[in-house]
């Protein structure tokens, strides 16, 4: 070892915001679309960014962890060690660890994800060859500010383009999930997706740096036009399944063992929560925090603090408004031609939680998004919900405890899908049973529509969204009583 494990200075000094200039920047793959388009964005700004191969170094991740860490920690650690080992083998004596930067995001709050970079730093420091590899990190605590990464005048431009790239990646995924269950010929949707991803990567790299949004969106719209021809209108609608849960596991196909394809193989059409959803959630929650702090400052008559908090609130609200504007532009270009599900608005998700005091945005983590997002899917006519998370994940375990009884009362099929790198022997049976229930749910929903009665969870049949909520949810306490339960409404608050 080049450094003893007792010296922890590097955990704070060599993790954080670094200049990306003159470095080879290693980017982990989470969502294949979003990660690849993010790399294209960085390359457009002159950064030598490279997307790492994923899941090939899992043995490294398991070797340097105890098993108590959540599974994405093992995957991402294995990815970076595998890539550095490959670079060392390729370059031989000319390999220089100091020429590399490893990018890893962080999140505040009670989640182990916020400590990934610290553990990764300790492990890299314990390896002679890789102790000088920097770890460039951005955090949700400051809404993923990239200060210091590039020249100051490029910071805002890069961050805005990075959000658009991730949103486009979400849309490409949803176009694939919308077309693949209904494709005319097997493999058409996957081939179109690969072509679209290559095309959008090139366009974003060429035009993203100078905010060429019109050129980028024009290319995206052309891809949507082509996707329409893939769909065979003779194929009947399939049960619509929503995926919520931990952001890495639900996005990383290798880690979740190709869950979406498995669901599709049993007759589903799937929509998974997006990456952009989280990027909208962060400034929304930070704006709420600043507003609360401003109220406290006003009560103390601390007008200096009040002014600072109001500025912070305004900055985050402006950021969120910009992201919503770009998100709407991206989806509008696609939905002109192909019907895909759009992201939930944060205010709508929070109302789902607040109406029955189910959870609070103040607690942070992905739990409020999973709970509120699942209920939004229920209102939109989904036929089943899958909650994806790593074994031992605290926020997702909370989500499961709250969602399971709620969705049972709404008679919406629900299943947890937990991963730790092993193959569960009953996984196939659990998904098959879940899909049987989802198919029955769809049949009942369509029968209600044909009989002229309002579909229980179809928001399109009711322009008044609150009316849909009352008709689909009713009174949770009354629902328990009708089911013969002993709970009352107070227990739901």
Per-residue pLDDT band at 13 (split at 50, 70, 90): low
pTM of the predicted model, to two decimals? Answer: 0.86
Q: Are 280 and 80 in contact (CB under 8 A)?
A: no
331 has pLDDT over 90: yes
Per-residue pLDDT band at 144 (split at 50, 70, 90): low
pLDDT in tens, 387-443: 999 998 888 899 999 999 999 999 999 999 999 988 888 899 999 999 999 999 999
Give the least confident one: 236-240, 429-433, 471-475.
471-475
Q: Are 322 and 160 in contact (CB under 8 A)?
A: yes
Distance, CA of 410 to chain centre: 25
The answer for residues whose C-beta is within 8 angstroms of residue 200's C-beta and 6 or more apart is: 37, 40, 168, 172, 216, 219, 220, 223
Q: What is the largest CA-CA distance in the chain?
A: 75
| pLDDT top residue among 146 and 216 | 216
The answer to whether the 9-150 and 238-274+349-493 domains have the same CATH topology is yes
Strands 384-390 and 48-51: unpaired
CA distance 401 to 416: 10
Q: Which of 77, 24, 72, 79 has the alpha carbon at shortest distance from 47?
A: 24
Edge-first strand listing for the sheet containing 100-103: 15-16, 134-136, 100-103, 24-27, 48-51
CA distance 446 to 201: 40
pLDDT in tens, 361-386: 888 788 999 999 999 999 889 999 99
The answer for residues whose C-beta is within 8 angstroms of residue 345's C-beta and 6 or more apart is: 324
Per-residue pLDDT band at 474 (split at 50, 70, 90): very low
Q: Which long-range contacts (CB under 8 A, 24 or more apart) does 61-67 make?
A: 62/421, 64/123, 64/126, 65/119
Q: Are 97 and 84 in contact (CB under 8 A)?
A: yes
Q: Which fold has domain 9-150?
A: Rossmann fold (3.40.50)
* Domain locations along the chain: 9-150, 238-274+349-493
Which class for 273: exposed (0-12), middle (13-18), buried (19 or more C-beta within 10 A)?
buried
Distance, CA of 141 to chain centre: 17
472 has pLDDT over 60: no
Q: Are 158 and 41 in contact (CB under 8 A)?
A: yes
Give the least confident one: 32-41, 145-154, 330-339.
145-154
Mean pLDDT of 4-10: 50
Distances (CA, A) of 125 to 49, 373, 425, 445: 23, 40, 38, 57
292 has pLDDT over 50: yes
pLDDT for residue 259: 96
Mean pLDDT of 320-339: 96
| Dihedral (CA of 393, 73, 278, 246) sign | negative
CA distance 461 to 55: 44
Q: Given 1.10.10, 3.40.50, 2.60.40, 1.10.15, which CATH number is that of 238-274+349-493?
A: 3.40.50
């Amino acid at each position: 070892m080049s450094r003893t494990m007792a010296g922890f200075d590097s955990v704070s000094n060599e993790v954080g915001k670094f200049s990306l200039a003159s470095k080879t920047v290693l980017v982990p793959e989470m969502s294949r679309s979003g990660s690849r388009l993010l790399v294209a964005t960085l390359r457009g700004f002159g950064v030598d960014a490279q997307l790492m191969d994923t899941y090939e170094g899992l043995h490294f991740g398991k070797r340097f962890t105890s098993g108590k860490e959540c599974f994405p920690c093992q995957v991402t650690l294995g990815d970076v060690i595998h890539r550095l080992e490959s670079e060392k083998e390729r370059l031989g004596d000319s390999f220089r660890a100091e020429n590399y930067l490893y990018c890893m995001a962080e999140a505040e709050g009670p989640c182990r994800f916020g400590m990934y970079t610290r553990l990764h730093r300790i492990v890299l420091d314990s390896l002679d060859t890789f102790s000088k590899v920097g770890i460039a990190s951005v955090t949700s605590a400051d809404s993923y500010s990239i200060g210091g990464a590039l020249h100051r005048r490029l910071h805002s431009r890069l961050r805005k383009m990075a959000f658009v790239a991730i949103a486009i990646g979400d849309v490409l995924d949803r176009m694939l999930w919308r077309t693949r269950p209904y494709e005319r010929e097997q493999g058409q949707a996957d081939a179109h997706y690969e072509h679209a991803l290559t095309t959008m990567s090139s366009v974003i790299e060429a035009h993203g740096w100078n905010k060429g949004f019109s050129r980028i969106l024009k290319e995206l719209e052309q891809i949507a036009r082509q996707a329409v021809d893939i769909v065979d209108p003779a194929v009947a609608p399939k049960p619509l399944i929503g995926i919520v849960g931990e952001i890495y596991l639900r996005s990383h196909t290798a880690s979740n063992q190709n869950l979406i394809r498995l669901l599709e193989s049993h007759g589903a059409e799937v929509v998974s929560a997006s990456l952009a959803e989280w990027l909208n959630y962060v400034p929304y929650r930070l704006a709420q925090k600043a507003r609360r702090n401003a109220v406290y400052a006003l009560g103390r008559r601390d007008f200096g603090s009040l002014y600072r908090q109001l500025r912070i609130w305004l900055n985050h609200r402006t950021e969120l408004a910009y992201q919503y504007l770009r998100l709407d532009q991206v989806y509008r270009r696609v939905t002109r031609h192909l019907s895909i599900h759009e992201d939930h608005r944060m205010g709508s998700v929070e109302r789902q939680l607040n109406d029955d005091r189910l959870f609070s945005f103040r607690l942070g983590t992905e739990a409020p998004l999973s709970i509120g997002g699942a209920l939004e899917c229920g209102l939109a006519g989904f036929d089943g919900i899958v909650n994806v998370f790593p074994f031992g994940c605290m926020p997702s375990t909370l989500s499961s405890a709250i969602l399971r009884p709620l969705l049972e009362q709404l008679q919406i099929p629900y299943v947890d899908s937990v991963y730790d790198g092993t193959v569960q022997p009953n996984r196939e049976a659990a998904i098959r049973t879940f899909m049987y229930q989802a198919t029955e749910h769809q049949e009942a929903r369509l029968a209600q529509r044909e009989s002229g009665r309002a579909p229980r969870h179809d928001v399109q049949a009711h322009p008044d969204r609150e009316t849909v909520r009352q008709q689909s949810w009713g009174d949770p306490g009354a629902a328990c009583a009708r089911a013969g339960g002993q709970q009352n409404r107070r227990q739901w608050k």
